[in-house]
Amino acid sequence: MQLIVQPSAVGDATVTVPGDKSVSHRALMLGGVAEGRTDISGFLAGEDCHATLTAMAAMGVHVEQDTDTQITVHGVGLQGLKAPDGPLNLGNSGTAMRLMTGLLSGQSFTTMLTGDDSLTGRPMQRVISPMLEMGASIDSDSGYPPLTVQGRFPLRGIDYTLPVASAQVKSAILLAGLYAEGVTSVSEPAVTRDHTERMLESMGVTVEKSGNSIQIDGRQAPRGCHIQVPADLSSAAFVMLAALIADKADVRIRDVGVNPTRTGVIDILQAMGADISLENPRLFGHEPVADIRVRSSELHGGQVDPSLVSLAIDEFPVLFVAAAAAQGKTVFSGLGELRVKESDRIASMASGLRTLGIRVDESADGAVVHGGRFSGGVVGSHGDHRVAMSLAIAATIAQGPVTITDTMSVDTSFPGFVDCLVDLGVQIETDT
């Protein structure tokens, strides 16, 4: 599938975006091993989250999907999962594979985790290493999927320092920590998203935090609860960008999760001159939520603070387009983690922007993006949903139509992306 986008006048609008992918994954997994029933509203009905749902069902968790976004999970307790009949295919989801590795490390059976070509090309050694220390046995293809996880119960509690900031690895260790004897502690070099900690607390599990360390005492049983999933800030970022680079737009995005471990994209855009405000702040359970209001703005380049990288790791394709539309040059550094996402996102974005007439100077862990004007053309997404959507937003202010190829992956995180852009006034169509 490909997207064809015409230069468009984005106008005033109030929109919603799908539920948070990170929260949806965690709600399914923790709900599955909780005592009792977990009702999930606002669930992200994307391919990644459906892969997690299918995997939990394959291990004996009864899941009712009342609507696309309303899910009921009947928990089986920490020791209630059963060995699946075959490998668990997690599609394109690195989050599902890393978190599932932690969850399965505490089981008393062996499971194979696999995925599509993109996922089997993503490194997993950073999650394998702590699981081995905790007592699980994991076979891999030199640190790459498929992974064969031979669980052990109980695991050993460990004190682990993450070599690289990673919410996925941190979460995997905390999930495994539920099955461990004693205390499991994780220290991170930079703050990362804390959805797992917040959800554990909402399910009655005590999580202790001290500085950059998070601790969990093993053998605590999560209790089922109601989880209202906020709208995904990573998806909202595309709408924010469309409004910011438009001539004259005033856009509101409702019920967006604004967890402070996720709002680096807002901080970076505001530093570039973006007019972004948070309205009607409130809580969905333990998760902060607000309506985001964005007005068209004159953006300017600068040096992006590397300390914000871990708070905006999924939004850098958006930020590369913002930099390309800004005055001057923008310097990004500390982005080495982007090289091993669904695609090499530094290279993918640099290639796409160059095709559209923007100068980009790559480095090993970043890039310098020089502001300019987007030309029309045909660009590849490299099968990466965030690259595809970011380039589609760039196309709204291009000098001619832009075709983005290989965009089937968009539905992994933002089902309804095209309809949402149409609501903003974007002329966009799909072509198979």
Lowest mean pLDDT among 10-14, 95-99, 408-412: 408-412
Work out the average pLDDT over 76-81.
98
Task: Quote the pLDDT of residue 153.
Answer: 96
* pLDDT single digits (tens) 4-26: 999 999 999 999 999 999 999 99
Q: Which of 61-65, 299-303, 408-412 has the lowest mean pLDDT?
A: 408-412
Q: pLDDT tens digits for 100-149? A: 999 999 999 999 999 999 999 999 999 999 999 999 999 999 999 999 99
% of the chain exceeding 70 in pLDDT:
100
**Angular region, 91: left φ>0, alpha ψ -120 to 50, beta rest:** left
Residues acting as catalytic residues: 314
334: alpha, beta or left? (left if phi > 0; alpha if psi -120 to 50):
left
Cα 18 to Cα 93, 113, 412: the distances in Å are: 17, 27, 11
Instruction: Please give the C-alpha separations between residue 196 and each of 77, 199, 243, 408, in angstroms, as whole numbers.
Output: 17, 5, 31, 29
pLDDT at residue 163 in the model: 96
Nearest alpha carbon to residue 84 among 98, 64, 105, 104: 104
Question: Which pLDDT tens digit goes with each residue over 352-363?
Answer: 999 999 999 999
Quote the pLDDT of residue 145: 97
The closest of 71, 77, 95, 78 to 19, measured between CA atoms, is 71
Q: Which domains does the chain have, with CATH numbers?
A: 2-19+230-431 (3.65.10.10), 21-228 (3.65.10.10)
Please check the confidence at residue 185 and state whether its pLDDT lies above 90: yes
Q: What is the pLDDT of residue 149?
A: 98
Q: Note the pLDDT of residue 432.
A: 79
pLDDT at 242: 98
Q: Report the percent of the chain where pLDDT is more than 90.
A: 98
pLDDT computed for residue 385 by the predictor: 96
Residue 231 is given by DSSP the state: B
The two tokens of residue 412 are 């992994």
Report residue 95 as tokens: 């989050």
C-alpha distances out from residue 265 to 305, 398, 402, Å = 11, 23, 25
- pLDDT value, residue 279: 98
Q: Is the pLDDT score of 59 beyond 90? A: yes
